[in-house]
Amino acid sequence: MRCERCGRDYTPACPVHGADDAERASLPPVEATPLAGATLSGRYVIRGVLGRGAMGTVYLASDLRGPAPWVAVKMLDDDRSDDERARLRLEASVGARVEHDNVLRYLDSGEAESGAPFVVVELLVGETLGERLRREQTLPIDAAIQLFRRVADGLAAVHAAGIVHRDVKPDNIFLVGPAGDATNVKIVDFGLAKHDRSTDEVRDGVVAGTCDFMAPEQALSDPVDARTDVYALGLTMFRALTGVLPFSSSDRVVTMARQIAEPAPRASTLAPGLAGLDAVLQAALRKSPGNRYRSMRALAHDLARLERGDRLSGAHLLGALGDVYVPRTATGKVAAAYFYTRLGLAPPF
C-alpha cells in the first residue's frame, strides 16, 4: 500500500504515519527522511520532515512519554557554527519562559547523537498568517481585530516575561486549524528574541530582524524594548488589513530608510472601510518609541474595545505631534544620517 500523506509504500503500516486513517488525517503532511525511526533523548521518535529552513530541519516526532502524542522537533544541521548552536539553545531557554494560550509552547531541548542541538515544541496544524495573506491578500476587518487582539495578548505575556520577540511578522503568527478557518493563533519562532538577562546585544552595524517589519530603533541597531514589537505588530496589522506594507521597497536600504524617516500613511487612504482603525495603527507606527502605545497590553486593550464596539481608551493620543526618531547611539546617528540622505532628506537631529 501507499501512504496518501508522504507517498511511502508500506506493509503493513507506514513507518512515518502509522496505519490509522483518522490519525493520519489529523496530522500535517511530511516528507520521508533517513532519520525516520531515530529516537532523541530516549523519548522523541522522528517520523518525517515538516519543513526545512536555512539552518536546519523541522521534524514530526512522536513523544513516547508526553501528554501529547505528537510534537515538532527543530534540529540544526550538523555543520552550523557555535554561535548558531548557542542561538538555538537561547531560543529554547527564552521560549520556555512564556506560558500563554497564544504563544507556542517550548517543551524540551537537547542534542542528537551527532551533536546537533534540537528544541521540541508543540505540534501546530494549520498555516501561518503569511501563507494566508499570500493566498487571500487581506483579512476581513472583524476577524483581523479579533486575531490581532489575541496576538497582542500573547505578546504582552512575552513582554511580562522580560522578552522582546524582535521578529513579529505574518510568517511568525500561526493560525491553528483548517486553512482559512483558524480556531486559535500562536506566536512562533523566538530565534531572534532578546530577554532581560541575556548578554546577547546586537553588535554595532549588525541589524537583526526582517526589514519590512523593523522599528526605527531596530533598523539602526539601537536598544530595543517591548515598544519595538508594538511597531512590528502595527506593520503586520497594516499589511493584513490593506494588502500592502507602508514602507516596502525593492531596495532593502530604501525600506529601512523609510521606516526611519517617513510617517506611516493612514490605512483608510488605501481602504476607506478602515477609518475606525486609523488611530490604533497610527499610534502603533509612530517613529519615536515614546510616542507609541506604552505597552503591548495598552494596544491589546484598545483592540478589545474595537472588538466590543467601544470607544478607544485615549492611549492612542500620546505623541501625535512632532514624531521624529532620534538615534540613541553614535552608530545609530551615522546610519540614520545616511538613510535620510538616501531619501534626499536632511536629518532633523
State how far the Cα of 105 lies from the Cα of 123, in Å rounded to an integer. 9
- Checking if the pLDDT of 250 tops 90, the result is yes
**pLDDT band at 8; cut points 50, 70, 90:** low
- Checking if the pLDDT of 4 tops 50, the result is no
Catalogue the E-assigned strands of the chain: 39-40, 44-52, 56-63, 70-76, 106-111, 117-122, 126-128, 163-164, 173-176, 184-187, 194-195
pLDDT per position as a tens digit, 276-308? 999 999 999 999 999 999 999 999 999 999 999
pLDDT at 9: 54
- Whether omega before 223 lies within 30 degrees of 0, making that bond cis, reads no
- Percentage above 90 pLDDT, the chain: 74
Q: Is 102 helix (H, G, I), strand (E, B) or coil?
A: coil
**DSSP β-bridge partners for residue 60:** 48, 72
- Checking if the pLDDT of 130 tops 80, the result is yes
Which residues, other chains included, contact 137 with Cβ-Cβ below 8 Å and sequence gap of 6+?
A: 243
All structural domains of the chain: 21-122 (3.30.200.20), 126-342 (1.10.510.10)
State how far the Cα of 189 lies from the Cα of 174, in Å rounded to an integer. 10
**pLDDT band at 204; cut points 50, 70, 90:** very low
pLDDT at 249: 93
Out of 63, 108, 167, 302, the active site residue is 167
- Checking if the pLDDT of 34 tops 80, the result is yes
- Checking if the pLDDT of 346 tops 70, the result is yes
Mean pLDDT value across residues 14-38: 73
pLDDT per position as a tens digit, 58-75? 999 999 998 889 999 999
- Compute CA distances 74 → 53, 115, 121, whole Å: 10, 14, 8
State how far the Cα of 3 lies from the Cα of 21, in Å rounded to an integer. 10
- What are the cell numbers at 2? 501507499
Query: Are the beta carbons of 44 and 61 closer than 8 angstroms?
Result: yes
State how far the Cα of 281 lies from the Cα of 238, in Å rounded to an integer. 7
pLDDT at 79: 77
Across the chain, what does the average pLDDT equal? 89
Q: 222 an active-site residue? A: no
State how far the Cα of 325 lies from the Cα of 260, in Å rounded to an integer. 7
Query: Are the beta carbons of 313 and 298 closer than 8 angstroms?
Result: yes
Of 130, 293, 19, give the one whose Cα is nearest residue 302. Answer: 293
Mean pLDDT value across residues 245-251: 94
**pLDDT band at 182; cut points 50, 70, 90:** confident
- Checking if the pLDDT of 148 tops 80, the result is yes
Mean pLDDT value across residues 102-110: 96
- Percentage above 70 pLDDT, the chain: 89
User: Considering only 29-33, 175-179, 218-222, which range has the smallest mean pLDDT?
Assistant: 175-179
pLDDT at 203: 46
State how far the Cα of 195 lies from the Cα of 192, in Å rounded to an integer. 10
- What are the cell numbers at 160? 511580562
User: Considering only 158-162, 179-183, 254-258, which range has the smallest mean pLDDT?
Assistant: 179-183
**pLDDT band at 309; cut points 50, 70, 90:** very high
- Checking if the pLDDT of 266 tops 90, the result is yes
**pLDDT band at 87; cut points 50, 70, 90:** confident
State how far the Cα of 295 lies from the Cα of 2, in Å rounded to an integer. 52
- What are the cell numbers at 242? 490593506
Mean pLDDT value across residues 83-99: 90
pLDDT at 25: 56
- Compute CA distances 9 → 20, 27, 258, whole Å: 15, 18, 53
Mean pLDDT value across residues 44-52: 95
Cα 178 to the chain's mean position, in Å? 20
Of 106, 90, 85, give the one whose Cα is nearest residue 188. Answer: 106
pLDDT at 26: 73
